[in-house]
Structure formats: structure tokens, C-alpha cells
Amino acid sequence: MRILLLLWIVLPGTVSAAGIDALTVTPNPDGTESWSLSLQALVLMTALTLLPAFLLMMTSFTRIAIVLGILRTAMGTQQTPSNQIIIGLSLFLTIFVMQPVFTRIYDEAITPYLDDQISIQEALQTASEPLSDFMLRQTREDDLALFLNLSGTDELPSQDDVGFFVLIPAFVTSELKTAFQIGFMLFIPFLIIDLVVASVLMSMGMMMLSPLIISLPFKLMLFVLVDGWTLVLGTLAGSFYLN
């Protein structure tokens, strides 16, 4: 830690003495600011380190991964499908759901910035708008009101004025609620099968036989007959477009 602090203090002075603009912010005549290439690279590297948190907390990944995990538990298939398959499926379904948002970010923020039409500050501001719109559509009003109250904000003129530090926890809370509600609905048919099998085994006096061994084939058969994967994945993807 001391070495990093020393480098942070000494390195800018050394670079400036060498005549290289490392971390500079130059004001423009129109009131905007231009960041040096090194500073832009620093911002980009910092953004890349936050990419996993961005993927988990600001997209549809949380709801999808939780629902698929609950589905596996409800079916009682232990580690089938494996964690890698669930995470991979959640990732690609997230890309599918978020494609309109990512396309809008690329068209409105990344492309103009690469063409030197807007500054990096304007690109970041423009890129945040599609994400804010997506998260606001999925966030419950009571969750948003809770975090607005905790932040000391009584009332906002419009939802466009909600900051990311308030919107993100409200969005994650709403996603957790929605995921558990969907998971509860998925649990019901499998729970009924477990109860029926357990009752039959009890009535036959076969108490030493685990009901899970008998109920698992029936749950798999039910899931296959109703085309469960199509229903679950289709419902998950469609739930983001209903709001």
C-alpha cells in the first residue's frame, strides 16, 4: 500500500517533468473539458474492473440466475444442470434481453465518441440513459420510494432525476422480489408431486425409502411433457418486456 501511494505521488511529477501530459483535463472554449488520452485509458481500465458488478447489478442477469437456481432446487436434480451451465445460460439470455439497450448505447454513445463527435463525459452521460430507462421500468415504486427516503430525498420532479446510487439498489431489490415470486410459482407443481409420492409411500409402509428417489422421475417427466425449458426461459425473457 505504501509503495502504491509513493508511486501515485511521485509518478505524475516525473511524467510532467519529462514533458508528457499524463493526467490532464483541458477546458474548452464552449465550457466542456477534454481529458488526456492517459486519463481516458485510466477511466476505461477502471470501468473494466467494474464490469462484473455492472453485469450482475444493472442488467437482467440477477433475476434469470436466481430463477434457474431455484428451478434446479425444486426439481431436486442436485448439480444438474451444473453451475457453469446455469451461469452461461443466464449470461446469454441476459444478452438477448438487454440487446435493445446495448444497441441504443452503442448507437447513441459509443459510435459518436469513436467518431470524435462527443466528449467522453457526454458519452458516459448518454450511455447511462438507456440503462436508467431499463432499470426504472423494472423497479417497483415502493422500492424506489424506500431508497429515496433513505437518501434524504422526499420527492423528485420526475423519474429522470433519479440518480444511479439510488436507482441501482432499488432495482436490485425489485429484481430479488420478482425472482423469488417466479421461483415460488415454479416450486408449487414439484412440491405437489413430492407430497403425493411421500403420502403414497407412507400409506404403503415404505418409510425407509426416500421419496426423492421416486418423485424425481415423475418431476422430470412432468417438466419434459410441458416443455418446461421453453416455458421458463420464454416467461423469463417476456417478463422484462411487460413493464
Residue 15 confidence class, pLDDT cut points 50, 70, 90: very low
Distance CA(172)–CA(239), nearest Å, equals: 15
| Closest to 193 measured CA to CA, from 78, 73, 74 | 74
Average pLDDT, the chain: 77
For the entire predicted model, the pTM comes to 0.74
For the cut 50, the answer to whether the pLDDT of residue 19 exceeds it is no
Convert the pLDDT of each residue in 192-222 to its tens digit. Answer: 888 888 888 788 777 777 777 788 888 888 8
Note the pLDDT of residue 11.
Answer: 39
Q: How many helices (H) and strands (E) in the chain?
A: 11, 2
Note the pLDDT of residue 39.
Answer: 59
Distance CA(147)–CA(127), nearest Å, equals: 23
Name the residue type at position 171.
F
For the cut 50, the answer to whether the pLDDT of residue 173 exceeds it is yes
User: Contacts by 42-50 with C-beta closer than 8 Å and gap 24+?
Assistant: 43/120
Distance CA(99)–CA(166), nearest Å, equals: 24
Which residues, at least 6 apart from 80, have a Cβ–Cβ distance to it below 8 Å? 72
Q: CA–CA distance from 132 to each of 98, 112, 168, 186, 219 (Å)?
A: 12, 20, 9, 30, 40
Q: What percent of the chain has pLDDT over 90?
A: 7
Name the residue type at position 167.
L
Note the pLDDT of residue 237.
Answer: 87
Note the pLDDT of residue 8.
Answer: 39
Q: Which three cell numbers stand for residue 210?
A: 426416500
Range 61-73 average pLDDT: 90
Note the pLDDT of residue 49.
Answer: 73
Residue 26, SS3?
Answer: strand
Distance CA(49)–CA(52), nearest Å, equals: 7
